[in-house]
Amino acid sequence: MKTLPVLTHPTPSLRERSVEVDPKSIGTPEFQAFLEALTETMFVEDGIGIASPQVGRNIRVFIVNHGGIGTAYINPLITKTSDATVIGEEGCLSVPGVWGMVERAKKVTVEALDRHARKVKLECKGLEAVIFQHELDHLDGILFIDKVKEFTKGKDKLKV
């Protein structure tokens, strides 16, 4: 199975807003192969999520590890967030060795297309809600280090 190189901070493309995926392209062999490679990369790198900008493709796609199954979310939108928030420790494959406390909405509603271009809607809470917010930030060129309230590990490793 093919994996893709993970870009790390401060690679400039990690700061770009990704473009929408044309739903007509989702069924193509090339796009499906990209989804497979992105999923495999997440598992090989031991991630719980990965966004396409992290492998150099600025398109609105990310993968979430749902209990050992990599699920693709294409053109995702958070349509609702709870007022209640949670603060938790986050890290990122694109910012290796750095961890920090980030405040996120406790619950989110997500709408996206799946790998078959079908509409999906999810209500997420807890860690799942955090993952969706973290990965969606990647699609907007935002890294978790932009939202850290307090670094817990590796602040000295941050490249400016």
- Domain harbouring 78, CATH code: 3.90.45.10
**For position 15, what pLDDT does the model report?**
98
Q: Compute the average pLDDT of residues 33-56.
A: 98
Q: Is the CA virtual torsion 99, 104, 106, 108 positive or negative?
A: negative
Answer yes or no: is 3 within a domain.
Answer: no
The per-residue pLDDT for range 63-100, each reduced to its tens digit, is 999 999 999 999 999 999 999 999 999 999 999 999 99
Bridge partners of residue 102, in order along the sequence: 88, 148
Q: Which of 30, 40, 128, 135 is catalytic?
A: 135
Q: Is the pLDDT of residue 3 over 90?
A: yes
Range 17-54 burial, b when 16+ CB lie within 10 A, else e: ebeebeeeebeeeebeebbbebbbbbeeeebbbbbbbb
Answer yes or no: is 7 within a domain.
Answer: no
Neighbours of 151 (CB within 10 A): 16
Answer yes or no: is 6 within a domain.
Answer: no
Answer yes or no: is 78 within a domain.
Answer: yes
**Is 135 noted as a catalytic residue in this protein?**
yes
Q: Compute the average pLDDT of residues 26-33.
A: 98
Q: Full-prediction pTM beyond 0.75?
A: yes
Q: Is the pLDDT of residue 50 over 90?
A: yes
Cα–Cα dist 50/63, whole Å:
5
Q: Is the pLDDT of residue 13 over 80?
A: yes
Answer yes or no: is 4 within a domain.
Answer: no
Answer yes or no: is 132 within a domain.
Answer: yes
Cα–Cα dist 107/126, whole Å:
7
Domain interval for residue 136? 12-157
Answer yes or no: is 5 within a domain.
Answer: no
Q: Is the pLDDT of residue 160 over 70?
A: no
Answer yes or no: is 64 within a domain.
Answer: yes
Contact by Cβ (8 Å): 122, 60: no
Contact by Cβ (8 Å): 157, 97: yes
Q: 9: pLDDT confidence band, cut at 50, 70 and 90?
A: very high
Look at the block and give the residue holding tokens 């978790």: 144
**For position 157, what pLDDT does the model report?**
87
Total domain count for the chain? 1
The per-residue pLDDT for range 105-140, each reduced to its tens digit, is 999 999 999 999 999 999 999 999 999 999 999 999
